[in-house]
Amino acid sequence: MIENTLRRGRALGTALAAGAVVLLTARCGSAPAEATTGDAAASQTVERGKYLVTVGGCNDCHTPFVMTERGPAPDMNRMLSGHPESSPMPPPPALPEGPWLWMGGATNTAFAGPWGVSFAFNLTPDDNTGMGIWTEEMFIRTLRTGRHMGVSRPVMPPMPWQGYAQMTDEDLKAIYAYLRTIPPIHNRVPDYIEPHHVPAMAK
Ligand code: HEC
């Protein structure tokens, strides 16, 4: 029964993904007509979260890129573990005068621009370096307010929280539920660096 429901959920997810108008259309995917048991409902929530993480592009910045035969791609062995602590970044170089404004590291998890240097966060449920201690409420507050851990400094670019803030509570809860189920990866992401601490940016 659970397997069937899951398979149906997945088939629905795939059909919706094919239907381009992603986030709007996707809402239809959250409430299957028939009633389900608690367990089946929970796995549907997780499937829904996985779907939203996939179409929401979280892996593009939170999973380190490696070079493959088909070009750079997220290394799913390190899924959503953020900027790798094994790849310390040197200070970013100064950009020449002109319209180029920001730069990204080879892993697509480190970014430098007028806001300073930001590193994509570890979204896995690791207790010490990821979101292990995050409550659902903290997670939702972070994406709704753009505040670090829901309360402190502003979350920096290029994290597109302003768009994700428009999701329904149900969708944000589903993302949180899914993120609790992925493999925890111990990876301490470097701290955000303010522009006045970046030699090339300090005036
Ligand atoms: C374009 C790149 C990009 C995408 C896409 C992206 N993120 Fe992020 N995210 C970042 C960066 C960079 C940071 C670190 C920002 C900082 O340190 O202020 C971050 C930080 C976060 C944080 C931690 C905020 C905090 O408290 O400091 C959460 C949670 C998060 N992202 C969730 C997500 C989820 C969920 C998705 C997909 C739905 C997603 N991100 C997609 C770049 C991205």
Residues of the chain with pLDDT under 70: 1-36, 203
Which residue from 55, 161, 158, 160 is spatially nearest to 110, judged by alpha carbons?
A: 158
Give nearest CA residue, ligand 1 atom 35: 58
Residue 193 DSSP code: B
Whole-number pLDDT of residue 98? 87
Give nearest CA residue, ligand 1 atom 25: 148
Alpha-carbon span 152 to 8, nearest angstrom: 41
User: Which tens digit of pLDDT belongs to each residue from 36-54?
Assistant: 689 999 999 999 999 999 9
For the CA of 134, the nearest atom of ligand 1: 29
Whole-number pLDDT of residue 95? 86
Whole-number pLDDT of residue 64? 98
- Pull the structure tokens for residue 94: 């100064």
Alpha-carbon span 20 to 167, nearest angstrom: 17
Q: Name residues contacting ligand 1 (CB within 6 A).
A: 53, 56-58, 60-62, 111, 118, 120-121, 123, 142, 148-149, 155-156, 158-160, 164, 175, 192
Whole-number pLDDT of residue 193? 98
Whole-number pLDDT of residue 32? 53
Whole-number pLDDT of residue 25? 42
Whole-number pLDDT of residue 168? 98
For the CA of 164, the nearest atom of ligand 1: 38
Whole-number pLDDT of residue 182? 98
Query: To the nearest 5 percent, what fractions of the chain are helix, strand and coil?
Result: 40, 10, 50
| Element of type H or E holding 117 | strand 116-119
pTM of the model: 0.84
Domain boundaries, the chain: 2-55, 58-197
Whole-number pLDDT of residue 34? 55
